[in-house]
């Protein structure tokens, strides 16, 4: 799958964090964008979008149909409407400094310029060596003597709008033409997080934590299955995560809905002997930022989950872990916490892959919401509907 972008740190110590390649199909070279869908595909996917009624109250509502989770045309509509618009979290940073993002496409013959992560002083295309600065400017190319009407100034890498909030870096593919000044952090917070940005800040989602590590999981399920699983208000926790459940007071689970964010929160268990007590602390908050980014803050930890759609039946979830700096030296605690967290992820992956299989069954079309616990999921589906139909 083509890579679409690379976030490039300007300063060397950002190298500690990995520049993130998003593996979405490439907006500018792929056949998958909406305008290049053939018109019957477009009609089909638009019709499928109408198979959910966002106005029915949760007590009576049915979930979106299984086709939202399995149909290739619908997936392509989502890429166009959901992922190529609005802010996308792409990579986190651990220090101050400028970040830049570019479409990962050479201006010569469209080769992918960079892959993976690394530290460079410039971008050299692996195909014929055209070279670009970290600011995207065209720097040099060999063997172009004789080329006429060519001005290197017009052949820089194509920039992508980039902004930061707290430790996070965000891209917006629809705002390429705005000047950087037009995205100040206040506007960004408003656009990305709406009225809950202060709540997140005051609950410890900020840049004071130290980065620990990244874990990536490729899961055989639609990206929304992972989100839905996250958004069920802890419904599945006592059944599927018995270890985790012992560290939480599940009766305290609550959900608050904001414009494009939902926050689920839960207190830690008061029982002293639970295996997760130190890791989970007294309170956990789980913030879902539409469409595909989750911030989990619990005890001394924060982790973020970025869900990348790779196909109708496949996604990748990237976990980044942060910790209060005073605990960075406690290697045993870190290792044990990461193991406990990994156990939960594996349990979720089994659930999600099972659901994807079920969604493909002719026996299933739509489901129902448990109204007292699955409000955040219903909120997600309503936002998605609005996004896909307007």
Q: Which does 125 bind (CB under 5 to 8 A by kind): Fe ion, ligand FES, none?
A: ligand FES
Asked if residues 193 and 261 have their Cβ atoms less than 8 Å apart, the reply is yes
Query: Is residue 239 within 8 Å of residue 227, measured between CB atoms?
Result: no
- Interacting partner of 348 out of Fe ion, ligand FES, none (Cβ under 5 to 8 A depending on kind): Fe ion
Q: Which is nearer to ligand FES, 106 or 231 (CB)?
A: 106
Give bridge partners of residue 267 from the DSSP assignment.
249, 283
In angstroms, give the least distance from the CB of 117 to ligand FES: 20
Question: d(Cα 291, Cα 179) in Å, to the nearest integer?
Answer: 25
* Nearest-CB residue for Fe ion: 348
Question: Residue 380: which residues within 8 A CB-CB, separation 6 or more?
Answer: 224, 227, 228, 231, 262, 288, 290, 291
DSSP assignment of 118-143 equals ---SEEE-TTT--EEETT--EEE-SS
By beta-carbon proximity to ligand FES, the closer residue of 129 and 371 is 129
- 108's contact among ligand FES, Fe ion, none, with CB below 5 to 8 A by partner kind, is ligand FES
* Nearest approach, Cβ of residue 145 and ligand FES (Å): 15
Partner interacting with residue 109 (select from Fe ion, ligand FES, none; CB below 5-8 Å by kind) = ligand FES
Which partner in ligand FES, Fe ion, none is near 128 (CB below 5 to 8 A by kind)? ligand FES
Q: Site residues (CB under 5 A) for Fe ion?
A: 348
Take residue 243 and report the two structure tokens written for it.
């270890």
CB neighbour list of residue 7: distance below 8 Å, 6 or more residues apart: 19, 20, 90, 91, 99, 100, 101, 162, 169, 171
Tell the residue number behind the tokens 């299955």, with chain if given.
225
DSSP secondary structure letter of residue 208: T
Q: Which is nearer to ligand FES, 129 or 238 (CB)?
A: 129
Residue placing its CB nearer to ligand FES in the complex, 144 or 178: 144
- Could you list the residues that contact ligand FES (CB under 6 A)? 106, 108-109, 111, 125, 127-130
Q: Nearest-CA neighbor of 332 among 273, 274, 279, 271?
A: 279
Minimum distance between the CB of residue 232 and Fe ion, rounded to whole angstroms?
8
In the complex, minimum distance from the CB of residue 351 to Fe ion, in angstroms, rounded to a whole number:
7
Q: How many residues does the chain have?
A: 390
Please report how close the Cβ of residue 295 comes to ligand FES at its closest, in angstroms. Answer: 37
Instruction: Give min distance, CB of 113 to ligand FES, in A.
Output: 7
Compare residues 169 and 284 and give the one whose CB is closer to Fe ion. Answer: 284
Least distance (Å) between residue 131 CB and ligand FES = 9
Nearer to ligand FES, 132 or 288 (CB): 132
Of the pair 125, 237, the CB lying nearest ligand FES is at 125
53 closest CA partner among 71, 65, 41: 65
Q: Which does 106 bind (CB under 5 to 8 A by kind): Fe ion, ligand FES, none?
A: ligand FES
The encoded tokens of residue 339 equal 């193991």
């Amino acid at each position: 799958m083509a890579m679409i972008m690379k976030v490039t740190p300007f300063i060397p110590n950002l190298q500690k964090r990995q520049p993130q390649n998003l593996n979405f199909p490439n907006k500018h070279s792929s056949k998958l964008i909406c305008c290049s869908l053939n018109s019957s595909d477009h009609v089909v996917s638009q019709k499928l979008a109408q198979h959910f009624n966002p106005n029915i109250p949760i007590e009576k509502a049915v979930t979106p149909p299984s086709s939202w989770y399995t149909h290739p045309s619908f997936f392509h509509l989502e890429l166009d409407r959901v992922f190529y618009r609005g802010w996308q979290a792409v990579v986190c940073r651990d220090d101050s400094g400028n970040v830049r993002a570019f479409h990962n496409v050479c201006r010569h013959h469209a080769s992918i310029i960079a892959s993976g992560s690394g530290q460079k002083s410039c971008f050299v295309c692996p195909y014929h060596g055209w070279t670009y600065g970290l600011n995207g400017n065209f720097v040099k190319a060999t063997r172009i003597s004789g080329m006429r009407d060519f001005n290197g100034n017009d052949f820089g890498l194509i920039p992508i709008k980039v902004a930061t909030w707290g430790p996070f870096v965000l891209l917006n593919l629809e705002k390429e033409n705005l000047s950087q000044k037009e995205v100040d952090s206040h506007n960004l917070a408003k656009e990305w997080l709406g009225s809950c940005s202060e709540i997140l800040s005051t609950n410890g989602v900020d840049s004071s934590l130290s980065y620990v590590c990244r874990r990536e999981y490729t899961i055989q399920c639609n990206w929304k299955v992972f989100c839905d699983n996250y958004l069920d208000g802890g419904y599945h926790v006592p059944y599927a995560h018995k270890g985790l459940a012992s560290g939480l007071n599940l009766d305290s689970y609550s959900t608050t809905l904001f414009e494009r964010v939902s926050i689920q929160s839960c207190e830690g268990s008061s029982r002293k002997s639970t295996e997760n007590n130190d890791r989970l602390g007294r309170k956990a908050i789980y913030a879902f930022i539409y469409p595909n980014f989750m911030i989990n803050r619990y005890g001394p930890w924060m982790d973020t989950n970025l869900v990348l759609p790779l196909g109708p039946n496949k996604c990748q979830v990237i976990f980044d872990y942060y910790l209060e700096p005073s605990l960075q030296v406690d290697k045993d605690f870190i290792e044990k916490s990461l193991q406990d967290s990994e156990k939960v992820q594996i349990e979720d992956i089994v659930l999600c892959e099972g659901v994807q299989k079920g969604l493909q069954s002719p026996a299933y079309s739509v489901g129902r919401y448990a109204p007292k616990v699955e409000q955040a999921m219903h909120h997600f589906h309503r936002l998605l509907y609005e996004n896909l139909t307007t």
